[in-house]
Amino acid sequence: MIGGIYPMPDGTTTVEPRHSERTPEELAVERAPLVLNRRTMGWIANYVSSIVESKTPLWWWACMAVTAPLALVLFGCITYLLATGVGVWGNNHPVGWAWDITNFVFWIGIGHAGTLISAILFLTRQKWRTSINRAAEAMTLFAVICAAIYPGFHIGRVWMAWFMAPVPNSNGIWQNFRSPLLWDVFAVGTYFTVSVLFWYTGLIPDLATLRDRATTKIRRFVYGILALGWRGGNRQWRHYEMAYLILAGLSTPLVLSVHSVVSFDFATSVIPGWHTTIFPPYFVAGAIFGGFAMVLTIMIPACALYKPLHDLVTISHVDKMCKVIVFTGSIVGYAYLMELFMAWYSVNPYERAAFLYRATGPYWWAYACMMFCNVIAPQLFWFKYFRTHLVWVWIIVQFPNAGMWYERFVIIATTLTRDFTPSAWGMFHPTWVDIWMFIGSLGLFFTLFLLFIRFLPMICMFEVKAVLPEADPHHHAHQGGKH
């Protein structure tokens, strides 16, 4: 690969040196590089840091002009809800859970890809995770923040939310530890806490890089405080690697447990369509499926805006994520079919009626959208052409993003509208508060992500450097033909 001249975000250019060609035999046995164009450690530090250090681009302000007002709409709706009551939502009898819990489960699922990429792929030594783990971890935190809004305000009196914590109180209220709703509190709270620690621990070496490169006293002070005195000594690296490994070990069971606990909200009930043991693995697979789709949704535009990032987040990374999507999407599709089969095989008239109602009742359109978006559309990723063309990838992953929301709506709303007794049947129709709170949560999510890429390094610099050929102690010996 010959060298070239590449622009930096701050307006300067960097010149890559030319490299000698290698023999076809050497190329045949060499793995595809995780970093293209023979980028050096210095280039990675300079370019990723310059994204934060350079002048704020106009496109960032344009995006903030769209997302920030939507986030303000969310807070406006929350204020109106607190002043008026939960009745401003479309919840009713029998649909006591509706868009609020649908959006809660949707956002919790979005956050699963970050922990999977950071923890499980780290423990299995998958080096391709290094370019995407930082953004995926940040996405996890922002998704959990959006998710936590809904159950907090669903209780009606949000100032009483502390009653969910197992602490003595003057009203003599004690928590029902047999309720999966309380399990949610502990599962999501633990997940968020560990995710914050995991994300921040990985940031420390890169924050120290920004501190050392800072040209103003304010930047040097802020990044210096956040870097916690990091100097990159052997002892610090040894402690860092041990801490990161421990956090990865703690996070790994959370990938499986958090959405399993969320699924228990439904699976432990006796309502037809919910009372099934397939929910935990099916929810986990769906969460990873939707999470990876959202990672691609945000990373592809980011790399398009910062074009040299294509050398760090390569087509190979996108191809692997698309394979994960088609794999987990196939699991989700299998779960859908097994639900239908078991409803038929059980000879339970209530189960049969519940699934027949989903497919042919007044919400048939939501069921059809769910099946198309989650089962049919991702099958295009079996073809390499669709996995390696970024425009097609970005278009296709919008279907899982929408499909996973439809899945949660179908599970919750359509099941509750038809209970055992016809006299309790009803319909759910969202109000303008329901709709704008969801749109506002999207605005909050993307606003937080825009702030993240503006003030923090979106690529984990030190981990990407570690996968470069020159990071291998035997690299120079191999280049000289020695082994």
Burial 314-328 (b: 16+ CB within 10 A, else e): bebbbebbbebbbeb
Residue 1 pLDDT: 40
- For residue 17, the model assigns a pLDDT of 47
Q: State the residue range of the domain holding 334.
A: 78-452
Q: Cα–Cα distance between 50 and 44 in angstroms, integer? A: 10
Average pLDDT over residues 64-79: 94
Strands (DSSP E) found in 286-373: none
pLDDT at position 79 is 92
pLDDT at 16 over 60: no
Residue 12: pLDDT band (50, 70, 90) is: low
CA distances to 139, 384, 436, 467 from 471, in Å: 29, 31, 49, 7
Instruction: State the CB neighbour count (10 A cutoff) for residue 183.
Output: 19
Q: What pLDDT is recorded for position 475? A: 60
- What tokens were used for 405? 């929301």
Mean pLDDT of the region 439-450: 94
pLDDT for 10 equals 58
Residue 4 has pLDDT above 70, yes or no: no
The CA distance from 136 to 396, in Å, is 19
CATH of the domain at 371: 1.20.1630.10
Residue partners of 304: CB distance under 8 A and separation at least 6: 390
Residue 6: what are its φ and ψ, rounded to 5°?
Answer: -125, 140
305 domain residue, yes or no: yes
Q: Is residue 335 part of a domain?
A: yes
- 357, 314 Cβ separation under 8 angstroms: no
- 20: pLDDT confidence band, cut at 50, 70 and 90? very low
- 477 inside domain: no
Q: Are 355 and 343 in contact (CB under 8 A)?
A: yes
Does pLDDT of 444 surpass 70? yes
- Joined tokens for residue 395: 């278009």
Is residue 14's pLDDT more than 80? no
pLDDT at 78: 92
Q: Does residue 479 lie within any of the structural domains? A: no
- Do the domain assignments include residue 95? yes
- Predicted confidence (pLDDT) at residue 478 exceeds the cutoff of 60: no
pLDDT of residue 378: 93
For residue 7, is it within any domain?
no
Helix 58-84 vs helix 432-455: crossing angle, to nearest 10: 140
User: What element of type H or E holds 5?
Assistant: strand 4-7
| 274: in domain | yes
d(CA 331, CA 359): 20
CA dihedral 455, 456, 458, 462 (to 10 degrees): 150
Could you count the other beta carbons within 10 Å of the beta carbon of residue 270?
8
Q: Report the 10 Å Cβ neighbour count for 225.
A: 11
Residue 352 has pLDDT above 80, yes or no: yes
Phi then psi dihedrals of residue 295, to 5 deg: -60, -45
User: What was the pLDDT predicted at 277?
Assistant: 87
The fraction of the chain above a pLDDT of 90, given in percent, is 40
Q: Is 459 inside a domain boundary? A: no
Please tell me the total number of residues recorded for the chain in this structure. Answer: 483
Helix (H, G, I), strand (E, B) or coil at 132: coil
Given a cut of 50, whether residue 2 has pLDDT beyond it is: no
Average pLDDT of the segment spanning 315-330? 92
Domain count, the chain: 1
Whole-angstrom distance, CA of residue 311 vs CA of residue 172: 60
Average pLDDT value over all residues in the chain: 86
User: What would the pLDDT profile of 207-216 be if each residue is shown by its tens digit?
Assistant: 999 999 988 8
Identify the pLDDT of residue 253: 86
| Among the ranges given (127-141, 293-307, 391-405, 469-483), the one the predictor scored with the smallest mean pLDDT | 469-483
pLDDT tens-digit series, residues 227-255: 998 998 899 999 999 999 998 888 888 88
262/284 Cα distance (integer angstroms): 10
**pLDDT surpassing 70 at residue 71:** yes
| Residue 273 Rama label (left phi>0; alpha psi -120 to 50; beta) | left
* Among the ranges given (371-385, 416-430, 450-464), the one the predictor scored with the smallest mean pLDDT: 416-430
Q: Which residue has the higher pLDDT, 160 or 299?
A: 299
Query: For residues 93 and 219, what is the distance between their CA atoms, to the nearest angstrom?
Result: 54
Give pLDDT, residue 61: 95
Does 482 have pLDDT greater than 50?
no
What is the average pLDDT across 17-26?
53
Q: What is the DSSP string of 9-49?
A: TTS-EEEEPP-----HHHHHHSPPPSSSTT--HHHHHHHHH
Output 237-244 pairs: Cβ under 8 A, ≥24 positions apart: 240/201, 240/204, 240/205, 243/201, 244/122, 244/198, 244/201, 244/202
Amino acid 5: pLDDT: 54
Query: What average pLDDT does the segment 429-457 reach?
Result: 93
Among 124, 321, 63, smallest CA distance to 313 is for 321
